[in-house]
Structure 1
Amino acid sequence: MEHDNQSEPKVFKVLSIDGGGIKGLYSAQILKHFEERFNCCISDYFDLLCGTSTGGLIALALSLKIPATEICKFYDEQGPKIFTKFRSNIFLGKRLNNGTIKQLVNGGKFTDNNLRAALTDIFGKHKIADSNNLLCIPSYNITEARPFIFKYDHPEGQLNRDNKAFYVDVALATSAAPTYFPMAQIEYYDNKQFIDGGVWGNNPTLVGYLEALQYFVGKEKKFDKLKILSISSLSLTGGKPTGLKRNRSFLDWKDELFETSFTGQSFFTHFFMSKIAGLNDLDVDYVRIPSSDISSSQEELVQLDVATPDALDLIRGKGNDMGDIWRKKPEIEEFFKQEKLYKIK
């Protein structure tokens, strides 16, 4: 789209939210700060919402104009019911909690009954057609062995696939972490089975970037400029000492196996975005809010599925601290100067 010198470029804004289980409370707290600082509804200021796993739950909630305060309350109240505590036992000569034993031999650590009930409470019978924003919610289609992105059916892509899907089903599909929750099976998609989008896109920024370039931003498209705000989950940042045991079984790795994969993927996506934004002719502003630093003594509380009072207090506090820092930054204010321009309804 061409503009004369007097015309302001049309800006397309993307919000991307990482996966991370109960640590989604960290991202939600940051968003709560932004809603308070700018006296706004997040949905009104971003054209496209992207979220994987717990980030997908947040993106879906925001797209229904559910306040970030309510999303934080969801994690505080429902988190301990979804991620229940386990007693420990001796198994194969090791002291393990019963949840880890279930991961090894008994069909997964948790059922999805409490998760489904909690999602039904917040989403009800809403379908993707009810969204107030464009959506990209990554999952992985086990039945067809390929990544799958749930989208709002926009006319620019001539899409006609996902609008009749229930929010609850989409939320289960993006967050069905292997060995933690059962695979999601969705009747609307001919009973195909889905698992957590974090297996390939824990940081969905690239998903949003591609969606924006393919359909909305650039030459002969509706928008001229792209702005992306990407919010990290709380992740372990300290690394490990040398000299660790080299031959490690699943019992040795346990939850660290998944955390390492998710963190690595998120790191590369940020690295790619920080480089590519300055290497093409398209006008792209990219902002990434990082994880807060985690001390070695805090690591056991910063896990995908630890929702004890101490863990929730820590995650909430880290989110509050980071939100208080970033709400004052001019680059964040830029996202909230003008409401979104792409209108769903």
Structure 2
Amino acid sequence: MDIEREEKTIKKKYKRINITEPLDFNSYSSNLDEKQQWCNILSIDGGGIPGIIPAIWLMELERQIRRPISSIVDVIADTSTEYFGSATLSDAKSELVIPAVKSGGSVTDIFTRFNSHQDSTKNFCLTDILMCTTAAPTYFPAYQFNSSVYVDGGVQANIPAMIAYDHASKSYPHYDRNRVRLLSLGTGDYVPDPLNLNANRNLLFWARNHQSVFKILMDGPQNNIDLHLNSVLGDNCYRWQIWLENPIDLDDIQDKSINRLIDLAHGHLEEMEAYDNRHRLGCLIEKFRS
């Protein structure tokens, strides 16, 4: 059985194709302002360059449904790994939830499309918001915006799924908490050991391992969110994550690292299909489109 599974995965690997057909951008765009049966939430972890992983997954979703993600998703939460443009929050087709931390780490501001509709002074340019939420400490300088200084939203919300869930329940009280589907996409994780008891933790140690230490500080408290949301949503919680044997830094732009991320992302989808479990792509598309 394992051999058959392996053969199936190998065949799919050689059948990978790029999106060649145009997407239907005139398709229905979800709107939580109207009463509907289900609320579909998409959450994307922070991660810098490893954000290639969820990008590949979303590309495959769009390739199969031939429509933009906004046609099946009501709320999108993201931090650290982003896209750029001249649009404002109110231009988004789906509800956006983007956290950014004010310098000092004590306050997290949540930028949303909902707030931009309620108050025109909060209809910020997406470029400014994304500069705030991608200002990862030790990688980029803090970003000054709207009389405040911001750093990466991943400092306090590297897995923004819970923020998206809470935002939807508070901002759109008409929707049923029992009819929520969540697709939470990770950017790859591993179990680092820079803090082992035998290590000589002098200044040189911290300097050499600052990226691993930073990742621990960002991911540690957030990993409990997976367990909590899974207990709340049960079978309606879909968590896709890849466990790495070796870390890939947020700023690693080497060709070999990028190719590795692309291969891992495709491989994860193919493995899910091969195992035919409830997280497989076809099953998820069927539920999200229903």
What TM-score range do you get, normalising by the shorter chain? 0.7 to 0.9
TM-align CA RMSD? 2.7
Determine the C-alpha separation between the residues in 1 that align with 2:166 and 2:119: 16
For this pair of structures, how many residues does the alignment match? 247
Match of 1:182 in 2: 141
Structure 2 vs 1, CA of residues 193 and 237 (structure 1 numbering), >3 Å: closer, same or farther? same
Structure 2 vs 1, CA of residues 326 and 216 (structure 1 numbering), >3 Å: closer, same or farther? farther
Determine the C-alpha separation between the residues in 2 that align with 1:23 and 1:185: 26
Determine the C-alpha separation between the residues in 2 that align with 1:239 and 1:274: 27
Q: 2:198 aligns with which of 236, 244, 253?
A: 244
Residue 166 (str. 1) matches residue 125 (str. 2): yes
Match of 2:233 in 1: 277
Contact kept? 1:31, 1:323, Cα under 8 Å: no
What amino acid is the match of 2:256? D
What amino acid is the match of 1:152? R
Match of 1:232 in 2: 186
Residue 149 (str. 1) matches residue 103 (str. 2): no
Q: Aligned to 1:288, what secondary structure does the other structure show?
A: strand
Give deviations 1:200-252, integer Å, cap 9, x for gaps. Answer: 000000001101221225xxx14561111100111224767965305343214
Match of 1:289 in 2: 240
Determine the C-alpha separation between the residues in 2 that align with 1:53 and 1:285: 25
What amino acid is the match of 1:162? K
Structure 2 vs 1, CA of residues 143 and 258 (structure 1 numbering), >3 Å: closer, same or farther? closer
Report deviation, 1:130: 1.1
Residue 22 (str. 1) matches residue 49 (str. 2): yes
Determine the C-alpha separation between the residues in 2 that align with 1:34 and 1:325: 15
Structure 2 unaligned blocks of 5 or more: 1-34, 274-279
What amino acid is the match of 2:285? E
Structure 2 vs 1, CA of residues 287 and 129 (structure 1 numbering), >3 Å: closer, same or farther? same
What amino acid is the match of 2:62? E
Structure 2 vs 1, CA of residues 135 and 245 (structure 1 numbering), >3 Å: closer, same or farther? same
Match of 2:75 in 1: 48
Q: 2:285 aligns with which of 323, 327, 333?
A: 333
Report deviation, 1:20: 0.4
Determine the C-alpha separation between the residues in 2 that align with 1:261 and 1:317: 27
Match of 1:78 in 2: none
TM-score (norm 2): 0.76
Structure 1 unaligned blocks of 5 or more: 1-7, 62-118, 279-283, 339-345
Q: Aligned to 1:277, what secondary structure does the other structure show?
A: helix
Determine the C-alpha separation between the residues in 2 that align with 1:246 and 1:144: 28
Structure 2 vs 1, CA of residues 248 and 207 (structure 1 numbering), >3 Å: closer, same or farther? farther
Structure 1 runs of 4+ aligned residues shifted over 6 Å read none
What amino acid is the match of 1:127? T
Q: Aligned to 2:262, what secondary structure does the other structure show?
A: helix
After the TM superposition, which residues 1-345 of structure 1 pair with which residues of structure 2 at under 5 Å, given as runs?
A: 10-54=37-81, 57=82, 61=83, 119=84, 123=85, 125-142=86-103, 145-154=106-115, 158-163=118-123, 165-186=124-145, 189=146, 191-216=147-172, 221-223=174-176, 225-237=179-191, 244-245=198-199, 247-249=201-203, 250-277=206-233, 285-291=236-242, 293-295=243-245, 298-299=246-247, 302-326=248-272, 328-338=280-290
Report deviation, 1:275: 2.1
What amino acid is the match of 2:264? K
Range 30-39 or range 310-319, more displaced: 30-39
Report deviation, 1:172: 0.6
Contact kept? 2:189, 2:241, Cα under 8 Å: no
Determine the C-alpha separation between the residues in 2 that align with 1:238 and 1:200: 20
Structure 2 vs 1, CA of residues 153 and 214 (structure 1 numbering), >3 Å: closer, same or farther? closer
Report deviation, 1:258: 1.1
Give deviations 1:130-167, integer Å, cap 9, x for gaps. Answer: 11111100110227941111111359x9455431x111
Report deviation, 1:318: 0.8
Larger relative contact order (Cα-Cα within 8 Å, sequence gap ≥ 6): 1
Percent of pairs identical after alignment? 22
Determine the C-alpha separation between the residues in 2 that align with 1:193 and 1:234: 29
